[in-house]
Copies of this chain bind each other. A is one copy, B any other.
Amino acid sequence: MDEQSNVAAIPVGVVGLGLMGSSIVAALLISGHPVKAIAPIASDAENVHERIYTQLHYCQEAGLTDSDEDLKARLEISQDYAVLADCQVVIECVVEKLAVKSEVYRKITDVVSAECIIGSNTSALPISELQPYVSNPGRFLGIHWAEPAFMTRFLEITCGKLTMPVFAERIFTLAHQWGKEPTLLKKDIRGFITNRLMYAVYREIFYQMESGNATREDLDKVFRYDAGSWMTLMGVFRRMDYLGLKDYAAALDNIFPQLSNAAGVPEMMQVMVAETARGIHNDRGLYPYGPGEGKQWDEAFTRFNLEIHSLAAKYSEEQVKGHLYKL
């Protein structure tokens, strides 16, 4: 795999075909890889063709591929791990349980070569804790996607303690051919980087709501319409440079000591768990949902994805510096 790998000659395996796994299968097919998709449990296998074909059909509708038939021709779906034998990369996206994952790793390593890179899409378990369950652990790393995988430019590659950099760099290079703006973290940070930043927001936003300072609706509104008005273009440090830095030191000094330092789970979240709220998936969540309203949000996000994805591509750092947006 060099700078411009011939992806058609690099078979990739995906193990675990839930929503996220199916969407990763679609992303890899669109990028040109042959894909071996393993449904490791019977319940997963049941509707797997329908689930993946729906994703592929959406890719076609969205203009990401000319023909979903071409994609299907490169896809093999199986319950038999043996089909992974010639894969150069295998991505695991099964449930976040160590016992399940370790068993999956055993089955993968039984059939693939010793150089086959094995990545986990985990967002909950530290890579270094999973790594010992993989033979030849230097080729194991985190490959963390955002949903839907074929329509987001995010990809977080994380090394565990034993990961050899050469493998991480191969995935980093390949990720550009998947249309990503990948990040490569050489330390195994608990919660990964993207989660760390957002959890800092979660802590403060629950605190503001539980203090009665602002409503849930208003807190969401300010984030959508203020941060949301520049985020996709700039990121945080760039935004500070844009605003001029001048007043920041004083403001940070003022506000940091007043932010929430809470360590415990917010009461509202505890209530949600007790009520088995699953948000838009059972119309019971942090917001009230009328019948079918969850589905409306889901459909809106499907459409929105398409637009924000092309907007993000249009304003990549390279293009900004290429001076393509002069008035």
- The answer to whether A193 touches B216 (Cβ under 8 A) is no
Closest to A204 in B: B200
- The answer to whether B204 touches A240 (Cβ under 8 A) is no
Interface majority SS (helix, strand, loop, mixed), chain A: helix
Q: Give CA–CA (A235, B201) in the complex, Å.
A: 11
Partner of A251, one of B191, B194, B263, B277: B191
- Known A183-B218, A220-B235; judge A191-B255 contact (CB<8 A): yes
- The answer to whether B225 touches A154 (Cβ under 8 A) is yes
Q: Looking at the complex, which of A34-42, A128-136, A162-170, A279-287 is the stretch in contact with chain B?
A: A279-287
Query: In the assembly, how many copies of this chain are there?
Result: 2
What is the CB-to-nearest-CB distance from A311 to chain B, in angstroms, rounded to a whole number? 6
Q: Please name all residues of chain B whose beta carbon is closer than 8 Å to the beta carbon of A185 when the two chains form the complex.
A: 213-214, 218
- The answer to whether A197 touches B204 (Cβ under 8 A) is yes
- The answer to whether A280 touches B216 (Cβ under 8 A) is no
Partner of A296, one of B221, B262, B321: B321
Q: How many residues of A contact B (CB 8 A)?
A: 121
- The answer to whether A203 touches B259 (Cβ under 8 A) is yes
- The answer to whether B227 touches A191 (Cβ under 8 A) is no
Q: Give CA–CA (A118, B135) in the complex, Å.
A: 69
Q: Looking at the complex, which of A83-91, A107-115, A266-274 is the stretch in contact with chain B?
A: A266-274
Q: Give CA–CA (A22, B152) in the complex, Å.
A: 36
What is the CB-to-nearest-CB distance from A45 to chain B, in angstroms, rounded to a whole number? 22
- Known A205-B197, A220-B237, A249-B269; judge A303-B278 contact (CB<8 A): no
What is the CB-to-nearest-CB distance from A248 to chain B, in angstroms, rounded to a whole number? 6
Closest to A215 in B: B183
A210 on interface, CB distance cutoff 8 Å:
no
Which 9 residue pairs across A and B have the least CB separation, nearest first? A220-B235, A241-B279, A241-B285, A200-B204, A228-B232, A154-B225, A183-B218, A194-B222, A303-B325
Could you list 4 further interchain pairs (A-B, Cβ under 8 angstroms) beyond the known A194-B222, A246-B278? Answer: A197-B219, A216-B237, A221-B235, A223-B236
